[in-house]
């Protein structure tokens, strides 16, 4: 009836072989025979009672042992992106999807990744002795497939210099050193990871202060102080050589020496250090005393911050090279709205074994696929298309997801309902969720349906409430997982969730199956809970006749952000444009919520009612795109979202309105009038974005 809707598989293009073409024709003939001779009426998943039954079936078929078996298989070997074991892991995920009978696709890109060639570090003490510091976990080496400790995209370099401790390496920390008369210029800076400062920023700030090299360490828990936290130190997301477009075969690529590429990388070398080795260096530093505000987090024997007298001999040599990366997808085509996509995503690649990061999430995704396949055998067909996404090279800067979003930006911009991300599904106890605000209510309702993994007889919602005394949903301004290209570049409503805030084996070779079994989730109950919430969220988004978005939560957040901004600014900058825009958005949100409730109450399935629901859903889906600005943030044009994106000032108090946060930071180095004008302009830009979102919700030009 009516025009045939586009096929969701237009997102995935490949050239079939002759054998594949023959097999496809054979399958089509067989399916055609059964279609002509047998009628298999499927109950509509949009029917509330039918949808409820399918959701109950989904929850009832969780098995801890199945998830555990997936994780065990995924973590048998390290699988760093761009290596053969990583490709083997991609084949494993693809075979799983195909074995379930799901429509499975590849997407391949050529991207600039970074690997170590050789490195060494030795410490030389004032008594004339020295020690060679190992740069990988004890008992593990290249023969195990474990990559040595390194920072991806660090430049090669060497240094023979005194050590200075700079705490977390923030501007405030360098000011504290300056007050002591400590100059880090010409030194190797030792920095403790912590707070909100990314690795690349820590290296950049050391470079700005004249350091020759940086050693970064993380405090490991008891028994894990010999772990090395690998990670990247570049800026931005996606392939550095194809900023804003996909790195497909034959694509335009910038030269690796292009200034646009080089500005993403630090100019001084860095390496990760174990907490054990860091304590050795800290214990031998003298000269200037440790600032009082740093003492609480340091070992008792630390007396000074340096420089020296300990000297380190630091050498790192790495290489950047173009390698193939591989995303894997499973598509469950929607029956009524096949051109509307609900996406669930997780990355596969890991620095080492990846039991927590990321394969606890991969195991949950594989289990959701298994349970969805079971629902399909029970007669379920989603209203909208569901796409399960397995990303590659996330650890190198969300490369796989970013390349795919850039390649499919037009389709996603007009058809993506929501993106649901799980990176590390299980790190420890306690549920943590980040989301765009229109999804808050749905998250709350779904957590009421899932059993809590750590409290007998309670739901996730009940435990969440008792722990926080409220539902604490954070936002998606960070650049730290695969939701970033969806929210910050494409404006797709998104969720990111995980159990446990921190874990002591992050990015080390100890992030293995044994750690998960002994510490993270021995009975795999938290894995089951995450899979339950994740899969149930997608079922609502795919099957509810009216999309379960509530923009009144967004209104509350925007009002709060305006109040926070008001407390930070003096009266020289007007917030009136922002106030007016939020009022307009609030009116549109109330109107659309009333309209949605009226249509939910309508029992008719007439074509007119269906068209009204479709039109409303489009407005709900597209409103988030209104917060995008085609020019992007100043100096960082890839970031288009003016409400949620990272600020260039990582020490800013604002985790929202990134353009305003940047302007406040830049205004400190300008004249009063010039700085005020810059801030005012960014406030106007945010106000216009909020007005665009309000206009999208209303769906009317006049």
Catalytic residue IDs: 394
Bridge-based pairing state of the strands 311-332 and 288-289: unpaired
Place of tokens 């990303």: 391
User: 623: which DSSP letter?
Assistant: G
- In this structure, what are the phi and psi dihedrals at residue 204, rounded to the nearest 5 degrees? -60, -40
Return d(Cα 193, Cα 195) in angstroms, integer.
7
281-286 LR contacts (CB < 8 Å, sep 24+): 281/123, 281/163, 281/190, 281/215, 281/310, 281/312, 282/165, 282/190, 284/123, 284/125, 284/126, 284/309, 284/310, 285/163, 285/164, 285/165, 285/309, 285/310
12, 15, 20, 24: CA torsion to nearest 10: 50
Return d(Cα 382, Cα 393) in angstroms, integer.
30
Q: Is 120 left (phi over 0), alpha (psi -120 to 50) or beta?
A: beta
Residue 670 · residue 603 · CB < 8 Å: no
Residue 388 · residue 100 · CB < 8 Å: no
Smallest CA-to-CA distance from 354 within 185, 500, 147, 644 is with 147
Place of tokens 């860091």: 278
For the chain, helix (H) and strand (E) counts, in that order, are 22, 17
* Separation of CA 229 from chain center: 18
Alpha helices in 61-193 (DSSP H): 64-74, 84-99, 171-179
User: 625: which DSSP letter?
Assistant: G
**DSSP track, 332-344:** E--SSEEEEEEEE
Return d(Cα 421, Cα 632) in angstroms, integer.
23
Residue 94, both tokens: 């693809």
Residue 133 · residue 279 · CB < 8 Å: no
- Per-residue burial over 323-341, b if 16 or more Cβ lie within 10 Å, else e, is bbbbbbbbbbebbbbbebb
**Alpha-carbon separation of residue 127 from 108, 120, 219, 281, 367 (angstroms):** 55, 22, 27, 14, 58
Return d(Cα 97, Cα 91) in angstroms, integer.
10
Residue 569 · residue 482 · CB < 8 Å: no
Residue 159 · residue 190 · CB < 8 Å: no
């Amino acid at each position: 009836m009516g025009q045939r809707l586009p096929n969701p598989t237009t997102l995935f293009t490949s050239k079939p072989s002759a054998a594949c073409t023959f097999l496809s024709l054979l399958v089509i003939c067989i399916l055609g025979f059964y279609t002509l001779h047998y009628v298999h009426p499927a109950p509509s998943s949009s029917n509330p009672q039918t949808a409820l039954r399918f959701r109950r079936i989904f929850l009832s078929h969780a098995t801890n042992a199945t998830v555990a078996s997936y994780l065990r298989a995924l973590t048998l070997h390290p699988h760093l992106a761009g290596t053969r074991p990583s490709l083997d892991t991609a084949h494993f995920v693809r075979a799983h999807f195909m074995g379930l009978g799901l429509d499975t696709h590849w997407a391949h890109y050529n991207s600039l990744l970074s690997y170590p060639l050789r490195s060494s570090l030795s410490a030389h003490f004032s008594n004339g002795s020295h020690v060679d510091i190992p740069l990988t976990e004890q008992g593990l080496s290249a023969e195990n497939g474990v990559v040595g400790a390194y920072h991806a995209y660090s430049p090669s370099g060497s240094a023979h210099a005194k050590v200075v401790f700079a705490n977390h390496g923030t501007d405030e920390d360098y000011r504290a050193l300056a007050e002591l008369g400590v100059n880090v210029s010409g030194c190797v800076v030792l920095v403790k990871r912590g707070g909100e400062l990314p690795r690349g920023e820590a290296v950049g700030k050391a470079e700005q202060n004249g350091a020759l090299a940086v050693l970064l360490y993380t405090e490991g828990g008891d028994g894990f102080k010999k772990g090395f936290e690998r990670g990247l130190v570049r800026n931005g997301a996606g392939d550095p050589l194809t900023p804003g477009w996909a790195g497909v075969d034959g694509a335009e690529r910038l030269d690796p020496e292009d200034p646009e590429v080089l500005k993403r990388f630090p100019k001084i070398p860095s390496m990760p250090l174990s907490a054990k080795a860091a304590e050795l260096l800290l214990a031998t530093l003298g000269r200037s005393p440790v600032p009082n505000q740093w003492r609480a987090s340091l070992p008792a024997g630390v007396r000074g911050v340096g420089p020296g007298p300990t000297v380190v001999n630091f050498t790192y040599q790495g290489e950047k090279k173009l390698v193939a990366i591989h995303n894997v997808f499973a598509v469950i085509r929607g029956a009524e709205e096949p051109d509307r996509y609900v996406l669930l995503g997780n990355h596969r690649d890991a620095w080492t074994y990846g039991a927590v990061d990321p394969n606890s999430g991969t195991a949950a995704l594989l289990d959701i696929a298994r349970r969805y396949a079971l629902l399909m055998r029970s007669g379920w067909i989603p209203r909208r298309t569901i796409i399960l996404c397995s990303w590659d090279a996330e650890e190198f800067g969300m490369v796989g997801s970013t390349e795919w979003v850039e390649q499919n930006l037009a389709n996603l911009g007009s058809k993506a309902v929501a993106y649901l991300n799980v990176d590390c599904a299980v790190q420890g106890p306690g549920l943590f969720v980040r989301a765009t605000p229109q999804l808050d209510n749905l998250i709350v309702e779904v957590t009421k349906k899932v059993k809590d993994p750590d409290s007998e007889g309670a739901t996730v919602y009940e435990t969440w409430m008792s722990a926080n005394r409220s539902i604490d949903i954070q936002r998606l301004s960070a650049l730290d997982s695969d939701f970033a290209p969806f929210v910050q570049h494409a404006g797709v409503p998104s969720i990111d969730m995980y159990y446990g805030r921190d874990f002591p084996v992050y990015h080390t070779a100890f992030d293995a199956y044994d750690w998960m079994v002994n510490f993270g989730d021995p009975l795999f109950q938290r894995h089951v809970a995450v899979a339950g919430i994740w899969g149930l969220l997608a079922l609502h988004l795919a099957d509810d006749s009216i999309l379960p978005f509530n923009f009144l939560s967004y209104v509350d957040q925007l009002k709060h952000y305006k109040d926070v901004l008001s407390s930070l600014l003096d009266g020289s900058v007007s917030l009136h444009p922002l106030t007016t825009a939020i009022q307009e958005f609030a009116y549109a949100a109330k109107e659309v919520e009333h309209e949605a409730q009226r249509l939910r109450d309508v029992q008719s399935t007439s074509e007119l009612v269906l068209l009204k629901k479709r039109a409303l859903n489009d407005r709900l889906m597209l409103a988030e795109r209104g917060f995008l600005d085609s020019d992007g943030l100043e100096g960082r044009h890839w970031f288009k979202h003016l409400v949620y994106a990272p600020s260039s000032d990582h020490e800013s108090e604002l985790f929202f309105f990134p353009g305003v946060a940047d302007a406040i930071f830049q205004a400190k180095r300008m004249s009063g009038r010039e700085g005020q004008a810059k801030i005012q302009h960014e406030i106007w830009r945010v106000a216009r974005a909020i007005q665009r979102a309000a206009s999208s919700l209303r769906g009317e030009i006049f």
